[in-house]
Each structure stands twice: as structure tokens, then as C-alpha cells.
Amino acid sequence: MPRTGARASLWHPQSNPISLPDFSGPGLEDDDAQGMFNLFLLQTLNGVQFGILLFLVAAGLTLIFGIMDLINLAHGVLYMVGAYFTATFTALTGDFLLGIAIALPAALLFGLVLEVLIFRHLYERDHLDQVLATFGLILILNEGVKIVWGAAPMSVPIPEILSGAIPLIGPLKYPFYRVAIIAAGLLTAVGLWLLVNHTRIGMLLRAGAVNAPMVSALGVDIRRLFMLVFGFGAMLAGFAGAMVAPILSVEPGMGDGILILTFVVIVIGGVGSVRGAFVAAILVGLVDTLGRTFGPIVLRAVMEPSAASQTGQTLAPMLIYILMAAVLFFRPSGLFPAKGAAA
Amino acid sequence: MSARTSDLAITGAVPDVAAPRGGRLAGRGTALAALLIFLVLAVLPPVAVAVNDPFLVVTATRIIVFAIAALSLDLVLGYGAMVSFGHAAFLGLGAYAVAILSSHGISDILVQGVVAVAASALFALVTGAISLRTKGVYFIMITLAFGQMAYFFMVSLSAYGGDDGLTLGGRSTLFGLPILKSDFALFYLSLGVLVLAFVGLRALTLSRFGRVLRGTKENPVRMQAIGFQPFAFQLTAYVIAGALAGIAGVLLANQAEFVSPAYMSWQRSGELIVMVVLGGMGTLVGAIGGAIALLLLEDWLAHFSEHWKLGLGVLLVLLVLFTRGGIVGGVARLFGRPRS
């Protein structure tokens, strides 16, 4: 698997083998325009896929932030643990789908155990205590993973039935597995939407995001609700980790990069809002992916090629942070603030 | 008294504000503790020579550099109640100012220092102005994101080493003289900066500015009601802290003779927070003590196992879970600092 130097790119879809049309080759004007369009299409799909994965991690985290007012730095390692569980169970059962099917409840269980052991005691603490404890937890789990599975990256083969590519336009193809990721993520998003907006638990979640003490005062067992949200959030993050296991290397610290991106998503979307997390995740996925590809190309219009590609490469990783700063400048509580949540 | 201490334990507040009388005594205590630390550090190089362990000075310089960075964070975190999770960015900016200038042949420490301070202060001004529009969890996440932005900027800046970092041609000079060539000179320069930073920040926090800052931490609404604009004070503190961390970065680059984006990673920012909290927030001397304690602890744990981070993590979690009111109270008792 080709890798570029930056840590973020380990996570980035672009670092994966996808047949990109070759620009540098000779071609007529028409071919260039066609090639540009094809590239745009592929990268848009990549951006959506990236955004979907971000959403899965962000959804749980935004609920944890919004409802429990808990800053959980360790959410990224839950994603990592999900990937490791999948790698292990896939190796044990010899079947990826069966591996995921076991990894998901395992991730849920892992989240619940953490909740009981550590997080439960942090809800009442101030943010700084939460930052310190969850920072410590990151150190523990990153090292723990190294001890249990070793420091070398693990890889999971793409399952037979999900391999191959589907044709888009003309000769253009897109890996089937990535389409499956997008589909699975969208299904999860729809399921979450139904859960949050059309069930009793969802009603409690929304109420909790607005005013958790009031929900508790009305006789709801808020501790159980918290535990449920935390376990569910851990499972969603684990699911994201499970799905990237075949396309990325599973290694210690793989959750650290995504944690920061998830924060950006949550801040843009508004703490506590699942809808905001979805919109922001897709936005961040698209801006990041398209920015990396088209930043240098756009800059080439105003600069000479070598300077353009240099500047583009330098600016592209900063784009989402600039986006975040811009959103916050106009809407300090994000795009879809859950009213009364920790703003 | 007990009611007050439990109150403090919850908010992690500075006692000086609530009780001027006890506060003044405590203030004298922390100054004394700081003086003691400085004296011990000052005699360290001769001792290192005597026991024939020159590496001691190198380690101590590194500790001092991080103590300066932690000190600057304490102004933001301890006095301003702004949980900044991107503080390592300033450290890195200062270090990169040295490395980049020196790669262009400008090795004068005064020029490097001015550029480092200007760069980190400007970065603090811009990011601080945006971050301070938000509060609480948002502020933590935004400062973290800005720190990452600086990190990725340096990672992708391939002209200056990118991910691999940049090795310095040599240490900084002053008017063409290689005054920092010896480890001892760098040590004493760093110690001098540390002492100056401590004295300066102490004066600042005891001044009207510092009282407004602490008042804002206690109750921003009340401060606004009596006619202060918390934003301006908080932003000023943020910029001062950023600039000071930039100076620490200048020293760090000279100490390691190497810079890399790893200096700016968010784990580094987390470690700085741990230092401040470990030593005791809002006391200044606590940040210095915390830096010493954490770095020595890391060294010590690294002796036992390559998985020393596991031990550090467990320690952190246990400290938060089992010390009342967070680490501040527990460690204050543990170290028997004069405040209690």
C-alpha cells in the first residue's frame, strides 16, 4: 500500500490504490477535460466515503459530548480497538463478515467496560479532569494494543464477495468495497436518524442533549441512558474501524489522527447534533479530499506548476481547519447547535 | 477553612483570590519553593562535573525548556481557565524559527528570538481571537485543531524537512560568536530565561491584569458587570503565553540541534497540560515542578520497560479518579507544598 509521509494520509483514502486517470500523459484538450471530470468524480466518491467514516466516529462522540458534557479524547482509540477486533476475529474465523459480526458486540462490550471502570466517574468532573483521564487512557490503550498485538501493522484482506470494482462511466471503475462502505455508512446514518427522531430512546437522547439534569429530574434513569450512549458510541466507532481494516493498515495510534478530524467535524456540526455531525462529516470529507487533489490544480492557474504543487500540498491539509475557523467565526456554536448543550 | 478548601478542590481555583491573607502567605511559599528549585538547578553543572555525568546537564536543559513552556501554559490554563490543547504549536513555531533562519545562514539568536516571538505571538493572536469566541469543550477542541493545523503545515513543508524534520547546522550565535557551543552555556541561558519568565509572570499575575484574569476565571459574567471586557484580557494572556512558549522553542531547537513536527504534536500539548496540572495550576512554581516531575518520571519509567507510556497512562487515570478534586489537591498533599 503506497503511503505518503504525513500521518493523516495513513487514514486518507487517497493513500490507497485507486486507478486515477493519468494526466501527465499526452492528450487532446477534450481528453483533459474528460480526465478532469473523471478525477473529480472519483475524488468526490472518495470524499463521501471518507466523510461517512468520519460520521460513524463523530456520531457517538457528539452524543457523548452533548448529553454527558464529557470530553472524550479516547474515542479515537475505540476506533482503533474496533479495527483490531475485526482483524483478530477475521483471522480466527477466516471470514471478514463473520469477523465484523463478532467485533461489533465485542466493541460494544469494551465500551461498556470502560464506561463502568472509568468514564462513569468522570461525568461530574470538570473538563480538565476529563482531558487528563482520557489522555491517560489513550496512552494505556495505544501501548496495550502494542503489547497484545505487537507494534507491526496488521492487514485484513478484502473479502471475496466485496472485492472487484464497479464500472462508473466509460472505462472508469470504482472499488466495490468502497461503495460497500458508503452504503453501510448511509444505512447506519438512516438507522441513527430513525433512532434519534422516531423512538423513545431517541427522544430521551435529544432531551438529554438539551438539558440532561431535567431529563433526570423527570424520572429517567440517566445513568443507564449514559451507559447506553457510551456503549453505542463505542460500537459505532468500532464499526468505522472495522470497515477501514481491509483498506488501511491496522496499527497502534491509528485512532489519534481520526480523533482530531472528528473534533473538527463535531465543532463544525455543533456539539450534540447527529444531523450536524453528518453534514459536517461529509463536508470535511469532501473539502479535504478535493482540496488535496484540486488545490494544486487550481493554484496552477495563478502560479507556475512547481510552486503551485508545493503551495497546494502545504495548504491542502490546513483547509479543513480553515473551514472550521470560518464556520466558528460566523456561528460559534456550529452549524446545528443543540440548544443548551455545552456551548 | 475546610469549606473553602473543598470549594477549591472542585474548581481547582487559586486560593489567592478568595482569601487575600492566606494567599499572600501562600504566594511567599511558592516564591520560596521556586527560589529553592532555581538554586538547586544553578549548582547542577558543577555537580555534574564532579560526578562525571555530563549528560545530566543535557537532561536538565531539556527539563528547563519544558518548564518554561509549562510556565507559559499555566498563565492560560491556571490563571485564565482556558484549557488550551494546542500549546505545543507555539513551542514548535519557536523551534522552527531557529531552524529555518539558520538554514538560510541567519544564526544570530537575537534575530531568531525576535522572529520566534513574533511568529508565535501572531499565531496566538489569530487563533486565540477565533478560539476565544467559544467556551468550554469547544475551546479545547478548537485549540487542539489549530495545533494540528500548525503540525500538518510543518509536516507538508517539505522544503524544510517535512515529516523528517530538519537538523541544525549548529547552535545559535550572538554577534557571530558561538556563545552557546558548550552545553553549560545553553543550560545557564535556559535557566536565566526560566527565572526571568517566572519573575515576569509572577509580577504579571499579581498585577491588576492578573487579578482581572483570575476574576474572569472565577466569574466572567460578574467581571463584565463591573466593566471589564474578559475577551481582551484573555486574548492578551493567550498571546503572552504563546510568545513565551515560542522562546522555549528557540531553546529547545538549540538543545536538540534538530527540529521536527513531532514537537508540535497534540500528544506534546497533552504532556504540557499534564505538567501544569501535576504540579498545581495557577501557582507558576507548580508548572516548573510538574515539568521536572513528569520528565523525570518518564525517564524513570523508560528504564523499566519500553511500554513506559502504559505506566504513565495508568498513573494519570488513577490520579484523576482517586485524588479528590482532581490531581491538584492530591499532588499538593503528596508533595507537601506550603499552600496546604
Q: What is the 3-state secondary structure (H, E, C) of chain A?
A: CCCCCCHHHHHCHHHCCCCCCCCCCCCCHHHHHHHHHHHHHHHHHHHHHHHHHHHHHHHHHHHHHHHHCCCCCCHHHHHHHHHHHHHHHHHHHCCHHHHHHHHHHHHHHHHHHHHHHCHHHCCCCCHHHHHHHHHHHHHHHHHHHHHHHCCCCECCCCCHHHCCEEECCCCCEEEHHHHHHHHHHHHHHHHHHHHHHHCHHHHHHHHHHHHHHHHHHCCCCHHHHHHHHHHHHHHHHHHHHHHHCCCCCECCCHHHHHHHHHHHHHHHHCCCCHHHHHHHHHHHHHHHHHHHHHHHHHHCCCCCHHHHHHHHHHHHHHHHHHHHHHHHHHCCCCCCCCCCCCC
What is the span of the domain harbouring residue A197?
Answer: 46-251
Interface confidence, given as ipTM, is 0.78
The pLDDT value given to residue B27: 65
The pLDDT value given to residue A64: 85
pLDDT mean over B20-49: 73
- Diameter over CA atoms, chain B: 61
Say if B340 falls within a structural domain: no
Domain count, chain A: 1
The pLDDT value given to residue A31: 61
The pLDDT value given to residue B22: 40
Q: Looking at residue B192, which CATH number applies to its domain?
A: 1.10.3470
Chain A positions touching B319 (Cβ under 8 A) are 132
Contact with chain A for residue B81, Cβ under 8 A:
no
Parallel, antiparallel, or unpaired for β A165-167 and A173-175? Answer: antiparallel
Q: pLDDT at residue B147 above 60?
A: yes
Q: What are phi and psi of A28, to 5 degrees?
A: -80, 170
**DSSP character at residue B174:** B
Q: pLDDT at residue B305 above 90?
A: no
pLDDT mean over B34-56: 84
The pLDDT value given to residue B287: 87
Of the candidates B140, B145, B327, the beta carbon closest to that of A71 is on B140
Say if A173 falls within a structural domain: yes
Q: Which residue on chain A is closest to B128 by alpha carbon?
A: A325
In whole angstroms, give the CA distance from residue B170 to residue B107: 8
Highest mean pLDDT among A26-35, A92-101, B21-30, B113-122: B113-122
- Cβ <8 Å between B133 and A328: yes
Going by pLDDT thresholds of 50, 70 and 90, the confidence category of residue B117 is very high
Strands (E), chain B: 166-167, 258-259
pLDDT mean over B147-173: 82
What is the span of the domain harbouring residue B52?
Answer: 2-335
pLDDT mean over B299-311: 82
In whole angstroms, give the CA distance from residue A237 to residue A81: 9
In whole angstroms, give the CA distance from residue A82 to residue A111: 10
The pLDDT value given to residue A30: 52
Question: Euclidean distance between the first and final Cα of chain A, in Å?
Answer: 41
The pLDDT value given to residue A249: 83
- Cβ <8 Å between B274 and A260: no
pLDDT < 50 stretches in chain A: 1-29, 340-343
Domain count, chain B: 1
Q: Enter the C-alpha cell of residue B6.
A: 473543598
Say if B36 falls within a structural domain: yes
Q: Please give, rounded to a whole number of angstroms, the shortest distance from the CA of A196 to a CA of chain B.
A: 23
- Cβ <8 Å between A271 and B137: yes
Q: pLDDT at residue B218 above 90?
A: no
Sequence-distant (≥ 6) Cβ neighbours of residue A203 within 8 angstroms: none
The rounded mean pLDDT for chain B is 81
Q: What is the torsional sign of CA B256, B258, B261, B264?
A: positive
For residues B273 and A9, which has the higher predicted lDDT (pLDDT)? B273
Closest CA relative to residue A336, chosen from A262, A261, A277, A259: A277
The pLDDT value given to residue A338: 65
- Cβ <8 Å between B145 and A264: yes
pLDDT mean over B163-167: 81
Residue B6, CA distances (Å) to A132, B9, B23, B215 in order: 20, 5, 16, 19
Tell me the count of A-B CB pairs closer than 8 A: 154
In whole angstroms, give the CA distance from residue A101 to residue A93: 11
